[in-house]
Amino acid sequence: MRQWIYLPMTTSPTLAFTPETLRQHGLTLDEYEKIKQLLGGREPTLTELGIFSVMWSEHCSYKSSRVHLKRLPTRSRRVLQGPGENAGIIDIGDGWACAFKIESHNHPSFIEPFQGATTGVGGILRDIFTMGARPVAVMDSLRFGPITAAKATPKSELHKNHSIMEGVVGGVASYGNCFGVPNLGGEIKFEPCYSGNPLVNAFAMGLVRKDQIFYARAAGEGNPVMYVGAKTGRDGIHGATMASEEFSEGSEAKRPNVQVGDPFLEKLLLEACLEAMQTGAIVGIQDMGAAGLTCSTCEMGGRGHVGIEVELDRVPQRETGMTPYEIMLSESQERMLLVAQKGREQEVFRVFEKWGLDAVEVGRVTTDDKLRVLEHGKVVAEIPNQALTDDAPVYTRPLARWEPPVSREMPQHIRLNQTGDLTDSLKRLLASPNICSKRWVWQQYDHMVQTNTVEAPGAGDAGVIRIKGSQRGLSMALDGNGRWCYLDPRLGAMHAVAEAARKVACSGATPVGATNCLNFGNPEKPPIMWQFSQTVDGITKACEELDVPITGGNVSFYNETLGEGIYPTPVLGVVGILEDVHKAAKMRFAASGKAIILLRAAAAGDLADVESEFGSSEYAKQILGALWGYPPELELEREAALQHAVIELIQQRLVDSVHDCSDGGLAVALAEKALPNGVGARVNFASDGLPAEFALFGEDASRIVLSCDPDKVERIQLLAGEHGVSADVLGETISERLEISLDGRVVVSAAVSELSEAYEEALEAALRAEPETVAADASHG
């Protein structure tokens, strides 16, 4: 019978924790008193204090967001697993299920861009294959500070932004390419508020048979608990705590809090885990992500309503002299915790030995619902699982309505229609950082590995992959608009959901599930929590109306540096199902002589509304240098009708190109369709009495640009009408030129090659403008 030697755990203190020590662990005095209460009145050991600090951190406990996240819709007939596991899962038919999740790695990517990004990708991939799913695609949503010279941007900040961007992109590419998963693109935006807090949100998707899903739950008294994968080091200690606080001038000294990734080892870990699962000997499995061994043990035990006991002497270590505190809190990468069936240990060991990985029995399942940690036979930590999970603090933070310091009406100094020719304005807009081609980024990603990719980065509104062995496919898209959420968080969040779903619909797929990454500032500030609450309300409303449940996600708070926060930035990842992947729609114009149609669901507002909404557009910010007003109005019932209509049009093969009309408005959408093949357009539409800039560059919601054979126009208009959607003929495709007329007057006329030059070369030109920054960034790779 096993004998334990307990360290003294009496009601008298074993350690005197000063307020400074508690502050360093991210704990308040009230939280410390609650810890003692949950431990039966005794003081915690240092190891226990560290365990509580990471499990009660904002990053792990969601203590400020949990009360709001409960409002999100999480169920549908397709949802097999909602929030609460490593990834959400939806039923996609034919016995298959899709696991998907989005996570942030913002703080590590600011401190160490390359490694922060690599471990962000590695972590989200482990979340997918922990569920028994093989990862089949990734995307990323990235936010950086300005990379083009401007009076308001100091040269030192510009250098820093270049360095962070190159390091992050290099890290994303390195890990995904080496691991062997296609990157289907995503989105990249630039705003001054992200200079001190870049956002790196990684979105991954995997496939699993419905009857082969695994869960992160321990079960079975006496079953062995196994540690598999890489050895434990001192990297990443208190990474979760670091991600739960603002940045200060000394934050870059926290490089040891950033883990170091090894994509080749993770590839071996993937194959070994999936093979071990096939033996039938695995009861439960969890990734050692944030909070490392601590999180995986107490959460697996908590979900299974059992206890887990681990003996740290057995944990594989790559450094000598590691303390229990360091071993339990290390966030070294490429590690998993398994619970296997007793008596079948050798089956599991053989699999991991085959793949050259450590696999060690480090503990066992107990029935006392406690996490028990031993070193040299002595108990160094003994905590009820519930104390670390369900009993973690939950705060209903105060809310205070906040208005951005911008005018809600168009400033009087703005002058429109000065020249009558907006060709140069279109070129400038196409070259602006938020709209220009991101080819420089996407060319670093391998998008064809696994040979399932149907739509590559930049080729469509969404990424599309086929499911081998069937005609079916999956579509995935990302969207977030921090500037719109800054102006109106509820409406901006509704737009993020709607546009991500619209992108999926534009590929021909039916949106069926969503995951969200909610990036915000300090939750202890009432205006930030008001923004967060409003955002959750907006996501809830849009997901309910569009029938797209949230299956999980991530909250990233404390995105502030020296008290300056980011825009409220919810990022939505949406997954859709294509019944026939061969019917996936293309974005680009394919040939001359095709009719061009604008599908539109939104009703036009009056002039005052249009002026106000125009102030939130890329044109207002980039060309006019001003920001005002509100995001465009969004009628969700009409948006749903538009998406249903375009999906039906695509499935009936009535259209040959489809593109969402969003950033930059109708003129940019037409240009983006023209550039890939050099097939232009000649269009003419009514201004409805609005200034030409409003008609061309306004970003009204719920619009899609189509092209089709002229003899199909009538059928398209008939079907659109059945959905309550207008389908207006704008013109026709022509060879190598884009001509846009308003009320019969030409306002844009340019060769497609001229527009392509502005669009394709802008990002690289901005990076080349500071060559010393590129050289300096070599240290990140």
Position 656: which residue type?
Answer: D
Query: 486 — phi, psi (to 5°)?
Result: -65, -40
Query: 209 — phi, psi (to 5°)?
Result: -70, 140
Q: Is 693 helix (H, G, I), strand (E, B) or coil?
A: helix
| C-alpha distance from residue 114 to each of 44, 250, 515 (Å) | 37, 19, 25
Q: Is 290 helix (H, G, I), strand (E, B) or coil?
A: coil
Q: What is the dihedral of CA 372, 373, 374, 379, to 10 degrees?
A: -60
Within its chain, how far is the Cα of 19 from the centroid?
36
Catalytic residue of the set 25, 59, 68, 780:
59
DSSP state of 57: S
User: Residues of 385-423 as b/e, b for ≥16 C-beta within 10 angstroms?
Assistant: bbbbbebbeeeebebeebeeeeeeebeeeeeeeeeeebb
Round to whole Å and give the CA distance between 638 and 601: 5
Query: 707 — phi, psi (to 5°)?
Result: -130, 150
Q: Where are the beta strands (DSSP E) in 473-537?
A: 473-479, 510-519
Round to whole Å and give the CA distance between 539 and 533: 10
CB-CB contact of 432 with 758 (8 Å): no
495 has catalytic annotation: no
DSSP state of 367: S
The β-bridge partners of 208 are 97
105 has catalytic annotation: yes
Q: Which helix (H) or strand (E) holds 338?
A: strand 335-340
Catalytic residue of the set 68, 105, 659, 780:
105
Round to whole Å and give the CA distance between 235 and 232: 8
CB-CB contact of 686 with 666 (8 Å): no
User: Residues of 117-137 as b/e, b for ≥16 C-beta within 10 angstroms?
Assistant: bbbbbbbbbbbbbbbbbebbb
Round to whole Å and give the CA distance between 357 and 540: 43
Contacts of 52 (CB under 8 A, 6+ apart): 25, 27, 31, 35, 44, 383, 387, 388
Which residues are annotated as catalytic? 59, 105
